[in-house]
């Protein structure tokens, strides 16, 4: 692996930012399809215990062979921007950053679309109606569209706790009881 003095996350952020700019330049309608294709590729490259991903990163396999396989398997079947990005990453020896680039690109698309994602830890996974109500409440608190993954957390008696981007929201029973206790101590 080449050393450039730049940290891996800075490298991934630089490529993700350039990818985002290129996608936006093509028009907002291109963002979601590009993101969806990259996420599908992440799923595919994660299968078979990551063997396909390791092969694309292997120094034992020539760049020409990798590009040839990429062309035969993907060219014309995925968006040109996605294909060109894969080729660029391979040519520059940066393919090892692929998953991180997609993750950062996903966050950039979410931010652009006013979306925030996160896990909501809750005593018991709620039905759809209750989950929608929680998501709606979180959306009104954050001012963004919330996409929440409900996670059962037996340590909670009632309520929920969540990190949504930079937001930390503790609406658990224990948090409310601690607030009451602190109020009583001050009285």
- Asked whether 104 and 133 are in contact (CB, 8 A), the reply is no
Does residue 175 form part of some domain? Answer: yes
Kindly calculate the radius of gyration of the chain based on its CA atoms and give it in whole angstroms: 22
Q: What is the 3-state secondary structure (H, E, C) of 44-106?
A: HHHCHHHHHHHHHHCCCCCHHHHHHHHHHHHCCCCCHHHHHHHHHHHHCCCHHHHHHHHHHHH
Does residue 49 form part of some domain? Answer: yes
pTM listed for this prediction: 0.73
Pair (79, 91) in one structural domain: yes
Pair (135, 76) in one structural domain: no
Q: 30 lies in which domain range?
A: 8-111
38 alpha carbon, distance to own chain's centre:
11
CATH number of residue 151's parent domain? 3.40.30
Per-residue pLDDT of the chain (187 residues; tens, 9 = 90+): 333 444 558 889 999 999 999 999 888 787 888 999 999 999 888 887 778 888 888 888 899 989 998 888 888 888 889 999 999 999 999 999 999 999 999 989 988 988 888 888 888 888 889 889 888 988 988 888 988 888 888 888 787 888 887 778 787 777 777 778 788 888 7
């Amino acid at each position: 692996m080449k050393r450039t003095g730049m940290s891996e996350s800075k490298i991934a952020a630089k490529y993700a930012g350039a990818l985002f700019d290129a996608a936006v330049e093509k028009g907002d309608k291109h963002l979601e399809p590009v993101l969806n294709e990259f996420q599908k590729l992440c799923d595919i490259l994660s299968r078979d215990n990551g063997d396909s991903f390791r092969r694309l990163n292997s120094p034992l396999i020539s760049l020409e062979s990798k590009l040839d396989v990429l062309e035969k398997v993907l060219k014309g079947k995925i968006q040109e921007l996605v294909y060109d990005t894969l080729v660029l990453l391979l040519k520059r020896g940066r393919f090892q950053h692929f998953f991180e680039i997609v993750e950062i690109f996903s966050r950039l698309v979410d931010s652009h679309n006013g979306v925030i994602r996160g896990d909501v830890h809750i005593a018991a996974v709620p039905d759809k109606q209750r989950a929608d109500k929680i998501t709606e409440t979180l959306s009104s608190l954050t001012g963004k569209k919330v996409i929440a993954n409900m996670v059962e957390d037996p340590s909670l008696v009632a309520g929920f706790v969540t990190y949504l981007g930079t937001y930390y929201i503790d609406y658990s029973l224990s948090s409310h009881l601690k607030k009451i206790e602190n109020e009583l101590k001050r009285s």
